[in-house]
Amino acid sequence: MDSEALKKYSALHPKPAGLTLQYGTAGFRTKAEQLDHVMFRMGLLAVLRSKAVAATIGIMVTASHNPEEDNGVKLVDPLGEMLHPSWEEYATQLANAEEKELQKIITEICQKAAVNQHKDASVFIGRDTRPSSEKLSQSVIDGISVLGGQYHDYGLVTTPQLHYLVCCQNTQGQYGKATLEGYYEKLSGAFTKLIEQSPSSEESQRHLKIDCANGIGALKLSEMKPYFPKEVVIHLYNDGTKEKLNYLCGADFVKVHQKPPRGLDMEPNERCCSFDGDGDRIVYYYKDTTGQFHLIDGDKIATLISIFLKELLAKVGQTLEMAVVQTAYANGSSTRYLEETLKVPVHCVKTGVKHLHHKAQEFDVGVYFEANGHGTVLFSKAAETKIRQLAKEEKDDEKREAAKVLENMIDLINQTVGDAISDMLVIEAILALKGLTVQQWDTVYTDLPNRLLKVQVADRRVIDTTDAERRAVTPSGLQEKIDVLVQKYKSSRAFVRPSGTEDVVRIYAEADTQENTDALAHEVSLAVYHLAGGRGAPPQP
């Protein structure tokens, strides 16, 4: 390690005094002007990680659904997964180190993680469309270069595309070609084969309106359009040419406000969907003939995919174990439908994509989605091998055809991470193959009314939870109080959990009516305020 070069470059990317940041599920995320030093140092860390695992590592510059003036960075591990938890700690240490300690901390990380300094390092870089992203990714490159790493800058890509590219590179092309063309060809090829099998593919075009959150999704869908079969026509809105990223639009806005984004006119019963700012979340929605807005969130997406895969697995006649993984935020109706009607096991884990992904890896087929629209499907190596073999060799026509559909699904799904483009094509293919309208999909089950609130507290750490965040352990008396409140309402449940990023406690409640839900949510928020050190005025109904 050239300590003079490190010193010189580090001084060009100084750390603002008194700033401390934490690497969480979303990596680092804050105001863009505070991130220059972090980007430089994550370039350093990516080189160390690459040397430690002898593989290509990804760095994505994005703040996803945050406002345009924010930015962030996250590292991607060799198979396209999120950074290993032990390295999240190193990331935090490196980002918060004073300049004079930088060399020492790098040496410590090398010792702890058995980094071979003489190994080559390779890093793939991607960024979103924020005004600050280009300059910040240049800081990443500075960090990589100081430690002698090789890099490939893919420029503007969706977050899932970068995950995909890293996985392709490290599987020597087994997962696909490590180029954007390779991504478009693999997904569109599988999608076209599925659409060709749909009963109505000949006569009717399928139209879909897409709100791209004024982000990267618009650019990449425009590039991908020529690859789509002619039966599918996509119309892009909020394409970033006029308005600000994520402003009054995007998946997060639609999910939170339960209303359509600005800049998209909906006709009754038209299928519409929204991406988030970096293209890893998707929600669907439509307006019925009375003008009522209907949201189809991640829970209903997981349900549609589960119904479809379960039917195919039954046709193939293999004993492959399938399960759905959710968080405590999943609507109670979805859990009930999956377990009782569809007879698919459901597992609840802590909030955060890495927990869902990790649990889903335990099954032959693991479907996971957060209610916010982030999710995917994982197939075990054994299941994938079996399905591909049946698609080739099975003598029984019906079984072979079902296996072929499953094989195309495996190729269409981005198994590295939730991917709005891939998920959208999966949904469109399933609706076409099953001959379902968006309204029929929506009526599979009826969501229980729910409400999300937050209460400001002096210190969020006073709240500790258990049972996948569904029960509060501390402060004492809080869970007992919530239990009493929940008893008052029909079909109800409520839980509280500390935010991962700010001193607030998040509250979720659901019950049989919206009125009861709002009353329960309010009563729980008062309990949190009084028992967990609320700040400011008490919550108002």
Q: Which residues are catalytic?
A: 64
Q: What residues form DSSP beta bridges with 504? A: 456
DSSP secondary structure code for residue 538 in this structure: P
Tell me if 459 is assigned to a ligand binding site: no
Tell me if 499 is assigned to a ligand binding site: yes
Tell me if 130 is assigned to a ligand binding site: no
Phi/psi at 297 (nearest 5 deg)?
-95, -170
> How many CB atoms within 10 Å of residue 290?
6
Tell me if 501 is assigned to a ligand binding site: yes
| Burial class of residue 302 (count of CB atoms within 10 Å of its CB; 0-12, 13-18, 19+) | buried
Tell me if 497 is assigned to a ligand binding site: yes
Cα distance between residue 254 and residue 270, in whole Å: 16
> Sign of torsion, CA 460 464 468 470?
negative
Tell me if 397 is assigned to a ligand binding site: no
**Residue count (the chain):** 541
Tell me if 411 is assigned to a ligand binding site: no
Tell me if 276 is assigned to a ligand binding site: yes
Do residues 432 and 413 lie in contact, with contact meaning Cβ atoms separated by under 8 Å?
no
Tell me if 498 is assigned to a ligand binding site: yes
Tell me if 222 is assigned to a ligand binding site: no
Tell me how many degrees the CA angle 429-352-215 measures, rounded to the nearest 5. Answer: 55
> How many CB atoms within 10 Å of residue 8?
11
| Burial class of residue 283 (count of CB atoms within 10 Å of its CB; 0-12, 13-18, 19+) | buried
Beta strands (DSSP E) in 200-290 are: 206-211, 232-237, 272-275, 282-287
Cα distance between residue 209 and residue 271, in whole Å: 7
Tell me if 483 is assigned to a ligand binding site: no
Do residues 258 and 293 lie in contact, with contact meaning Cβ atoms separated by under 8 Å?
yes
Cα distance between residue 163 and residue 172, in whole Å: 15
Q: Which residues are annotated as a binding site for Mg(2+)?
A: 64, 276, 278, 280
Q: Which residues are annotated as a binding site?
A: 64, 276, 278, 280, 370-372, 497-501, 506
Q: Which residues are annotated as a binding site for substrate?
A: 370-372, 497-501, 506
